[in-house]
Amino acid sequence: MDNLIEKEMGGIVDAILGDYGQMRAIDKMDLFNQPDKESIIDMVKKLFCIVFPGYFRDKSFKIYNVNNNLSVLIEDIMYHLNKQVEIVLKYDAQYEGIGEEALRETAQRKSISFLKKIPKVREYLDTDLQAAFDGDPAAYYKDDIVYSYPGLYAITVNRLAHELYLLEVPMIPRIMTEYAHNVTGIDIHPGAVIGKYFFIDHGTGVVIGETTVIGENVKIYQGVTLGALSTRGGQKLRGAKRHPTIEDNVVIYSGASVLGGETVIGENAIIGSNAFVTKSIGKNSRVSIKNQELSIREHGIETVKEKELGQDETWCYVI
């Protein structure tokens, strides 16, 4: 009996290769002019070694002196970052037709500017670490937080990606934050502006949109969405303020949604669990859901009880 796969394989290969000729958006045949996602993810991992020296290290470098190890890492990051930036700049219309030499110089300037921002990023991350330690009674050591807390991981990647976003580097910042999203379940757009002492507790399901502005000493819990009221306008909404502003010292508890570009949560406000907020809230306010009904079935008899939910701290905490 003839081998059916052997007979059909040539036609299958020709059909698939021929399909690529339609030049659809999903076809990218120029392999060497596309960003390398794996290289960008590798840079994220190496940046953690730079940002948190001693906590993380690249075991591929067999160097005794810590400074020498970090020097090699920094140069390695610079080399690969510059290479990827030069590739992705071609996606930006403002660089069309400027020539390879000018494009190369622009990529180098942006790469240099990014690495010069590392000390600033570390300054902010030190405050985030302190906020996590101060805000979580389950944290016995700061090392616990650096090694294991998804919130700090996602914030770290976001703060790094945000600097590239500010430098108008296409694609790379989003690849970085979506990698962190995949690892942690926390989705923070690199465009979001986030102040010092930011703490995400637990974190799973948190969404923070591109035009969100967050002040200092803000704490949010799992399942919180800082999103847009509607995206029906699609690309017409690009660049518009679609996401809320959260002022200093705000706490937003689990499952709450705060939506809309004109929505401002005033300083010192508390947003209780599962609240749905689409209008501005004044400073020092408390928002909570009240008068929920509980249906309880005991011994075959169903009773409905209405519980008045107070606005104290106990109600707000869902851990």
Q: In this predicted model, what pLDDT tens digit does every residue of 210-227 receive, in sequence order?
A: 999 999 999 999 999 999
> Is the domain of 155 the same as that of 265?
no
Residue 103: pLDDT band with limits 50, 70, 90: very high
Please report whether residue 23 resides in a domain. Answer: no
Last residue of a domain, one of 187, 211, 228: 187
> Is the domain of 174 the same as that of 306?
no
Could you give phi then psi for residue 122, rounded to 5 degrees? -65, -35
> Is the domain of 169 the same as that of 48?
yes
Boundaries of domain holding 123: 32-187
Are the C-beta atoms of 77 and 115 separated by less than 8 Å?
yes
Last residue of a domain, one of 131, 158, 187: 187
Please report whether residue 19 resides in a domain. Answer: no
> Is the domain of 171 the same as that of 266?
no
> Is the domain of 271 the same as that of 199?
yes
The number of distinct structural domains making up the chain is 2
> Is the domain of 63 the same as that of 182?
yes
pLDDT reported for residue 303: 66
Residue 317 pLDDT exceeds 70: no
Residue 314: pLDDT band with limits 50, 70, 90: very low
Please report whether residue 175 resides in a domain. Answer: yes
34 vs 12, 212, 319, CA distance in Å? Answer: 26, 30, 43
> Is the domain of 110 the same as that of 181?
yes
pLDDT tens digit sequence for 151-182? 999 999 999 999 999 999 999 999 999 999 99
Please report whether residue 267 resides in a domain. Answer: yes
Please report whether residue 282 resides in a domain. Answer: yes
Please report whether residue 176 resides in a domain. Answer: yes
CATH code of residue 214: 2.160.10.10
Are the C-beta atoms of 159 and 77 separated by less than 8 Å?
no
> Is the domain of 180 the same as that of 216?
no
> Is the domain of 95 the same as that of 239?
no
48 vs 68, 88, 156, 176, 179, CA distance in Å? Answer: 16, 23, 8, 12, 14
DSSP conformational letter for 197 = S
CATH code of residue 38: 1.10.3130.10
Last residue of a domain, one of 133, 160, 187: 187
> Is the domain of 282 the same as that of 140?
no
Q: What is the pTM of this model?
A: 0.86
pLDDT reported for residue 95: 87
Range list of β-strands (E), the chain:
187-188, 193-194, 199-200, 207-208, 213-214, 219-220, 225-227, 245-246, 251-252, 257-259, 264-265, 270-271, 276-277, 286-287, 292-298, 301-307
